[in-house]
Structure 1
Amino acid sequence: MRLPLLITLLLTALPAVGQELRIPPVDYPVLPASATSAAGFVPAGWRIEQQLSGDLNGDKRDDLVLVLRQQDPRNIVVHDGFGISPLDSNPRLLAIALATQDGYALAAQNHTLITRHEAPNLSDVFEDGAGVSIVRGTLRTTLFFFSNAGSWSTGSASFTFRWQDGAFALIGYDRSSLMRNSGQTEDLSINYSTRRVRHAEGSTDADRETVRWETLTSPRRWTLETVGDGSSFEPLADAEGG
């Protein structure tokens, strides 16, 4: 059975030749519970990499979405091996704050969905991708995957979240992959609200694709907090352990 694209890319990450690549550990800050502006949520040593506004909870007020990135020079790793050097492994924080009468109240902060850049043969999943967007009242995060060695796979994965029951629930997952050597394509689209799953396989050399549908049988529900690392997320995982 072929491994999912994201797992394949991670398993083929190559260590630096001639030395062990040491990625410094990070202590993630706890963001303020409220602030009057975006700047109020930015901890010392971090910066705003992306900022969006839009209504996420249906109250007709613009909420705030921030992607924060640490600015610690110790996380910029220089090595003499294969791949990207220096490697900027500074991690990111996704922060969502809902509009209030006095400013914004923090609804969620997450540092796992946007994978930290730790492998020199893999692209930065956020920098080279579509990033974060607000689409019809939902929050969408898209990660891009490309390996310059160890795998022919390239592709992207999008996570769509909706604010409901006090959390950002995963309602949609879309993954596309391409084998650059063969031209084979695979697409997976899951609607967690309707429990419908679409699988499609094709080729860049042909107009036709093979499509099959299935229905999720697992009752498992995902949220921004339970998805974990977006690169290793198993979208069809069963209810075991959940």
Structure 2
Amino acid sequence: MHMKWRANPAGWPSAHRHLLFAAWVLPFVPGLAPAQDIPEVSYPAVVEQAADAAGFVPEGWRLEQTSDGDLNGDGRDDLVLVLKMDAAANRIDNTALGPDVFDTNPRMLVAALAEDSGGYRRVLADHALIPRPYSPNLDDFLWEDEGGGVKVEEGALRVSLHMWASAGTWFTSNTSFTFRYRDGCFRLVGYDQWSRHRAGDVFTTVSANYLARRAWRAEGSISDEGEPERIWLRLKKQPLRCLEDVGDGLEFDPGLPSVES
């Protein structure tokens, strides 16, 4: 069991500039499982309509998490599901750092809107935003105790990814995306990230509001009292992107300028 510093985001919003995630995990660090050792998978189609959450689960998958809430403003509770593949072939024996058995089974994020006639209609099935496990040295990206998770809150879909490695990188982060259902898809309206290099005392935060086209970044010290100074930034005017266009949530570039514009 390893001891680790734990962020408390209650004092500051969770945010940071984009980090090149691929550079964090070095290919020759002992104990890291190389990507080529991960079995290939095929993602099944998810049915378009179902009477309940269980009806959207393809064969060979399991329902890991269910959240509900009104996503489209019609007064009915809709569904957001986290599905996880359940294949023995994706559970790998691990003789290096990390658990003895490394579970590489991927997840899918599914959302379905309540229908007038009953049941639900699928409007989202994505397997990119929540990264597939690729190294036994990494915490579960959706570990709720450490800031990860999927939930419906105030009519929005929020997906938070936790990043912590026991070897291979000193960087840790919590990254959150806020989506609202508009014009047929879940549009990215907010991005927040908090990160720290654990060898130092400095953390960085970034928060972007794509509706207001404003963002801020700040750097602070764990030992400082109070909130760090925020540098405000103006975002370029552009269409709000759909969740399916975001891709891997840990590789996403929020598009923040380096200076106020």
Structure-to-structure mapping, 1:117-196, within 5 angstroms: 117-127=133-143, 129-196=147-214
Structure 1 residues 150 and 4 mapped into 2: Cα distance closer, same or farther (>3 Å)? farther
Structure 1 residues 85 and 222 mapped into 2: Cα distance closer, same or farther (>3 Å)? farther
Alpha-carbon separation, structure 2, partners of 1:52 and 1:39: 13
Structure 1 residues 61 and 148 mapped into 2: Cα distance closer, same or farther (>3 Å)? same
Structure 1 residues 99 and 155 mapped into 2: Cα distance closer, same or farther (>3 Å)? same
Structure 1 residues 41 and 229 mapped into 2: Cα distance closer, same or farther (>3 Å)? same
Answer yes or no: is the 8 Å Cα contact 1:155–1:177 preserved in 2.
Answer: yes
**What is the deviation of 1:74?**
0.5
Q: Deviations over 1:16-54 (max 9, x none)?
A: 659866111111011111001111101111111110111
**What is the deviation of 1:146?**
0.3
Answer yes or no: is the 8 Å Cα contact 1:52–1:66 preserved in 2.
Answer: yes
Unmatched 5+ stretches in structure 1: none
Query: Which residue pairs with 1:198 in the alignment?
Result: 216
Answer yes or no: is the 8 Å Cα contact 1:13–1:119 preserved in 2.
Answer: no
Determine if the alignment matches structure 1 residue 111 to structure 2 residue 127: yes
Query: Which residue pairs with 2:12 in the alignment?
Result: none
Give 1:223's match in structure 2, choosing from 236, 242, 256. 242
**What is the deviation of 1:66?**
0.5
Answer yes or no: is the 8 Å Cα contact 1:140–1:158 preserved in 2.
Answer: yes
**What is the deviation of 1:219?**
2.0
Paired AA for residue 211 in structure 1: R
Structure 1 residues 109 and 15 mapped into 2: Cα distance closer, same or farther (>3 Å)? farther
Alpha-carbon separation, structure 2, partners of 1:150 and 1:130: 21
Paired AA for residue 149 in structure 2: G
Alpha-carbon separation, structure 1, partners of 2:157 and 2:32: 42
Alpha-carbon separation, structure 1, partners of 2:212 and 2:27: 36
User: What's the secondary structure of 1:144's corresponding residue?
Assistant: strand
Identity %: 41
Unmatched 5+ stretches in structure 2: 1-15
Structure 1 residues 40 and 15 mapped into 2: Cα distance closer, same or farther (>3 Å)? farther
User: Relative contact order (C-alpha < 8 Å, sep 6+): which is higher?
Assistant: 2
Structure 1 residues 63 and 179 mapped into 2: Cα distance closer, same or farther (>3 Å)? same
**What is the deviation of 1:153?**
1.5
Answer yes or no: is the 8 Å Cα contact 2:215–2:235 preserved in 1.
Answer: yes
Q: Deviations over 1:180-218 (max 9, x none)?
A: 221211000000001101101000011252320110125
Aligned length: 237
Structure 1 residues 78 and 156 mapped into 2: Cα distance closer, same or farther (>3 Å)? same
In the superposition, the TM-score normalised over structure 2's length comes to 0.84
User: What's the secondary structure of 2:54's corresponding residue?
Assistant: helix
